[in-house]
Amino acid sequence: MTSKKQYMHDHFFNPLDEPKSMGVDLLGNALIEHDEVYKAEDGFFLISALTKAQKEMAKALKLRRVEL
């Protein structure tokens, strides 16, 4: 790789390097690949966007924790 190509790669946006969008969860939060979610019957809940009480409820409902 030439120095010009290396500079372009290091300093400018490359859409191929960006994570893929996976849609939205049941609460409207954006999901991207490799996010950790709780899997419900009809969709997902993004773990990082949930409150402590919502996380406890997900555990009580025995929702599975998965990575997209």
User: What pLDDT was estimated at residue 42?
Assistant: 92
Residue 7 CA to residue 4 CA, distance in Å, equals 5
Q: Which pairs from 45-49 meet CB under 8 Å and 24+ separation?
A: 49/25
User: What pLDDT was estimated at residue 65?
Assistant: 94
Residue 51 CA to residue 22 CA, distance in Å, equals 22
User: What pLDDT was estimated at residue 13?
Assistant: 73
Tell me which residues of the chain have a pLDDT lower than 70: none
